[in-house]
Amino acid sequence: MIYEDSDDVQPVLQEGTGYESGLSFEEASLKRFGYQVSDEVAEYLSTVRERPVWKQIPGEVREMIRTQELPEQGFPFEDTLAFLRELILPYPQGNGHPAFAGWINSAPAHAAVLIKPLVAAMNPNCGIGDHAGQELERRVVQWVMELCGFPVADSAGVFVSGGSEANFTCLQAARYWAAQADGWDVRKEGMQGSRPPYVLYQSDQGHFSVRRSVEAMGLGSDAIHIIPTTPTYQMDVEQLSQRIRQDLNVGQRPFCVVATAGTVESGAIDSLDELADLCEEQDIWLHVDGAYGSFGILDERVAMLFEGMKRVDSLATDQHKWLSVPIDCGCALVRHGTLLRDTFRLTPAGQDEHEVWMSEYTMQRTRRFRALDVWSVVRTAGRAGLARAIANNNDMARLLARMVSAEPDLELVSSGPLSIVRFRYAPPALYDDPLTLDRLNKELALEVQRRGKTLLTSTYFQGKVALRACIVNYMTCASDILTMVEEVIDTGASLLSQINN
């Protein structure tokens, strides 16, 4: 009640604007700044090819970014924009550039970039309430299902921050389902009771985000039983079946198989149909980590590899990978919609006062309007446009593999079925020197990065360091692939001559 008697409080009687706080601008400035920003965006996006893929942040720039004082009084917006132009925009990660193939990070689709200010201007909480934001998300999640060949009827899904959270969301549903089938409530009782240890299965090519989820769920990473892969890097279903039998024999509770549709190392897609047969027979939840590869189904030449997708229990997808939606956006899809809701809802079933809120499908209560980003991309490109971009990436990966195979100083490690290619700089003179080859390829990835014409990363796989190209940029064309090959050969030769001298 301090305020009641205070003379200092001056109630604002006229219409509030917020101008004096710096948190809002009057209409003319809004328009002027808005035009300036859109000019900046258009310039940035249309000149991306002319800039280096990656450029080291100069020491003094790094220093200026790090030592900025906390502003006591706000700066004019023009000044903020100038800071961005000079100190931030010239030093991107590189993923907008068509010759970038470093990690599985795509370029943003232009429609989604342009729509961003509207998403922010509306700023709805897409976790609660009755508004267009939640309504749109309900529908766009179904579009994602349709794009991935995931059944729509009775399923539910929700946009999340990315593949890691999508896996986490689906795995929580899987665990809830298994506990329910075993007659207990994991949400209430946690993993505290003395019950058969819950175990799940992932191939040796599976992504580490699954381990993080399992750790966060209190199962402990020992609960993940790693299954070896076939020569095509797919989970060996026979070995999986044997392992499940062994685990049952020693009193463990196999509750989930985590398949991958598009492994991060080679793009391999596990045999979903065979896994679905086994999971049905053993009454185990089949989850698919499709963070990278699930939209690969849009390339009709490889669509048959996704056979069985209709039979899986859950699917993690990433819109910020192959759909070119700006970071961050993933989507968790679950076949049993009510079950997903039961995994997260806070009101008891049967006491619903409103239609399902999207926050009842996930951990997050206040949620940004990711659906508008996805909607703008899918609506502008259409299924056909997305399919063309993805098929082109797969074609570029094939081209890269062919060019690598034709070069005597390069060795192809793996290629296909999607858009990841691994290869090494391996001149014949070094065949008998694996340590130098490893050192060379590791340094090569960094040096190529520094040179700025392309960007690849190195990876350690089956005892060897290799270069990995992940092609997910809708602009990548044959000349970018040629640049990749030329840069690797040229940089490799120059590093080798330094080693030899």
Binding site for ligand PLP (CB under 6 A): 104, 162-164, 207, 209, 260, 264, 289, 291-292, 318, 330
The answer to whether the CB of 336 falls within 8 A of the CB of 177 is yes
Q: How far is the CB of 261 from ligand PLP (least distance, A)?
A: 8
Asked if omega into 328 is within 30° of 0 (cis), the reply is yes
Q: How far is the CB of 290 from ligand PLP (least distance, A)?
A: 8
The structure tokens 């997260």 sit at 344
Nearer to ligand PLP, 160 or 495 (CB): 160
The structure tokens 């931030």 sit at 88
Nearer to ligand PLP, 124 or 163 (CB): 163
Q: How far is the CB of 25 from ligand PLP (least distance, A)?
A: 34
Q: How far is the CB of 424 from ligand PLP (least distance, A)?
A: 21
Tokens of 204: 């040796």
How many C-beta neighbours within 10 Å does residue 420 have? 29
Q: How far is the CB of 225 from ligand PLP (least distance, A)?
A: 18
Nearer to ligand PLP, 320 or 335 (CB): 320
Nearer to ligand PLP, 274 or 328 (CB): 328
Q: How far is the CB of 459 from ligand PLP (least distance, A)?
A: 12
The answer to whether the CB of 81 falls within 8 A of the CB of 40 is yes
Nearer to ligand PLP, 203 or 209 (CB): 209
Q: How far is the CB of 312 from ligand PLP (least distance, A)?
A: 15
Question: H or E stretch including 313?
Answer: none
- Tell the burial category of 294 from Cβ atoms under 10 Å away from its Cβ (0-12, 13-18, 19+): buried
Residue 252 and residue 385: Cα distance in Å, rounded? 47
Q: How far is the CB of 164 from ligand PLP (least distance, A)?
A: 3
How many C-beta neighbours within 10 Å does residue 253 have? 18
Nearer to ligand PLP, 207 or 370 (CB): 207
Q: How far is the CB of 262 from ligand PLP (least distance, A)?
A: 6
Tokens of 48: 């991306």
DSSP three-state, residue 22: coil
Q: How far is the CB of 213 from ligand PLP (least distance, A)?
A: 10
Nearer to ligand PLP, 269 or 445 (CB): 269
Q: Buried (b) or exposed (e) across 48-85, using 16+ Cβ within 10 A? A: beebbbbeeeeeeeeeeeeeeeeeeeeeebeeebeeee
Tokens of 292: 């990278």
Residue 320 and residue 327: Cα distance in Å, rounded? 5
Alpha helix locations (H) across 3-109?
Answer: 27-46, 59-66, 77-83
The structure tokens 């340094």 sit at 443
Residue 99 and residue 487: Cα distance in Å, rounded? 11
Nearer to ligand PLP, 291 or 426 (CB): 291
Could you give the C-alpha distances from 364 to 103, 132, 224, 487, in angstroms and in order?
A: 27, 19, 26, 44
Nearer to ligand PLP, 260 or 491 (CB): 260
Q: How far is the CB of 296 from ligand PLP (least distance, A)?
A: 12
DSSP three-state, residue 377: helix
Nearer to ligand PLP, 420 or 426 (CB): 420
Nearer to ligand PLP, 102 or 162 (CB): 162
Could you give the C-alpha distances from 427 to 295, 407, 430, 488, 490, in angstroms and in order?
A: 36, 9, 6, 12, 12
- Tell the burial category of 212 from Cβ atoms under 10 Å away from its Cβ (0-12, 13-18, 19+): middle
Q: How far is the CB of 87 from ligand PLP (least distance, A)?
A: 26
Asked if omega into 417 is within 30° of 0 (cis), the reply is yes
Nearer to ligand PLP, 260 or 394 (CB): 260
Q: At what angle do helices 370-406 and 110-122 cross, to 10 degrees?
A: 160
Could you give the C-alpha distances from 107 to 93, 99, 141, 323, in angstroms and in order?
A: 11, 11, 22, 9
